[in-house]
Amino acid sequence: MMSVLIVIHLLVVIALVGVVLLQRSEGGALGTGGGGGFMTGRGQANALSRATAILATLFFVSALAMSILAGWSRTPHSVFDENAPAKSSNEKPAEPNLLDQLKGAGAPTTPAPAK
């Protein structure tokens, strides 16, 4: 179900980008200002505005549906309910590192000389 909804969402996104790019630029700050061409006239502008509104609505509806579906499959859990892993008795204790030695005695301990 989720994969079908993702495909529909992607198709809506591609169509929305295409419809927005077909619209005529009002300000002309990013290019030539639209000029004449494929979609000119008031009727086509109204159709593109209506198509943009419909595709934007479909975009938001599909995004909400995907988030609701993802929330249904998620089970709530708490990190405090989990038990800490038990330490096995076979493991030898870790050797103290330099930081532990500095904290404990103020100066590192030197190992006893070997005989």
Asked if the model's pLDDT at residue 107 lies above 80, the reply is no
pTM: 0.52
**Predicted pLDDT of residue 93:** 66
Residue with more model confidence, 1 or 59:
59
**Predicted pLDDT of residue 97:** 78
Asked if the model's pLDDT at residue 52 lies above 90, the reply is yes
Residue with more model confidence, 11 or 28:
11
d(CA 20, CA 17): 5
